[in-house]
């Protein structure tokens, strides 16, 4: 369960605070995959960072029962380290055994299809290669909630199909929150819609309803 209680988030500007969320109280639907909608700058990525604990609200409380992934669009990796070294480091943070680290690193190498670049510094990667690595390392771990922020557009059709396949495998035991401007993808992946607008959040029982509200905005 993910619950927001009187959550306010703003960023200081020279014109005063810019509010992304204002006194938001809601419980995210359980056992549902949620599409997150909102115009550019409305706070979609900020919400993902708050749910992941990467950022904190200025006021209020966020309660999470279960484990939440980092936002899959987040690029907080060490550029001077190789893909392998980054993967091993993340595994150690999550307290994995030597055998688990070996298995997960091999999964990341195979799934990301980076070949020899897996042993090279991430700063030498193209944006597409970094996205493939980020997706692979996230899928190597089991979470109760996956936060997907504009990441599934990476790669060619074959790679996208592979991403969708592993999503379908994970869906049986996890829930997803998707941020994407691809309406067809959100329809395919999500059960309900969450629309961020003017500092508030409204939950719609269907993705089509959320899309209608988004288009009207």
What's the mean pLDDT in 119-128? 93
pLDDT given for residue 151 in this prediction: 58
What's the mean pLDDT in 89-109? 93
Question: Phi and psi dihedrals of 102, rounded to 5?
Answer: -60, -45
pTM: 0.84
pLDDT in tens, 192-202: 999 999 999 99
pLDDT given for residue 109 in this prediction: 96
Range from 101-110, 116-125, 178-187 carrying the lowest mean pLDDT = 178-187
pLDDT given for residue 202 in this prediction: 95
Residue 94 has pLDDT above 70, yes or no: yes
Q: Residues of 129-165 as b/e, b for ≥16 C-beta within 10 angstroms?
A: bbbbbbbbbbbbbebebbbbbbbbebbeeebeeebee
Fold of 1-69+143-217: Rossmann fold (3.40.50)
Most confident of 35-44, 133-142, 193-202: 193-202
pLDDT given for residue 138 in this prediction: 87
Domain ranges of the chain: 1-69+143-217, 77-142
Sole residue written with tokens 């392998």: 84
Residue 28 has pLDDT above 80, yes or no: yes
DSSP assignment letter at 121: B
């Amino acid at each position: 369960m993910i619950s927001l209680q009187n959550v306010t988030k703003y960023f200081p500007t020279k014109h005063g605070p810019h509010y992304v969320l204002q006194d938001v109280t809601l419980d995210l639907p359980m056992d549902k995959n949620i599409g997150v909608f909102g115009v550019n700058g409305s706070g979609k990525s900020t919400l993902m960072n708050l749910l992941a604990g990467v950022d904190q609200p200025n006021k209020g409380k966020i309660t999470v029962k279960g484990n939440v992934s980092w936002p899959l669009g987040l690029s907080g990796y060490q550029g001077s380290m190789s893909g392998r070294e980054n993967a091993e480091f993340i595994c150690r943070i999550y307290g994995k055994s030597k055998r688990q680290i070996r298995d997960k690193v091999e999964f990341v190498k195979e799934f990301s299809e980076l070949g020899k670049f897996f042993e090279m510094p991430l700063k030498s990667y193209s944006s597409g290669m970094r996205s493939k690595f980020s997706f692979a390392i996230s899928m190597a771990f089991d979470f109760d909630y996956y936060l997907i922020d504009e990441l599934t557009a990476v790669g060619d059709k074959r790679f996208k199909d592979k991403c969708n396949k592993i999503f379908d495998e994970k869906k049986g035991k996890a829930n997803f929150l998707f941020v994407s401007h691809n309406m067809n993808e959100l329809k395919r992946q999500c059960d309900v819609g969450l629309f961020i607008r003017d500092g508030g959040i409204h939950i719609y029982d269907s993705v089509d309803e959320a899309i209608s509200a988004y288009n009207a905005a």
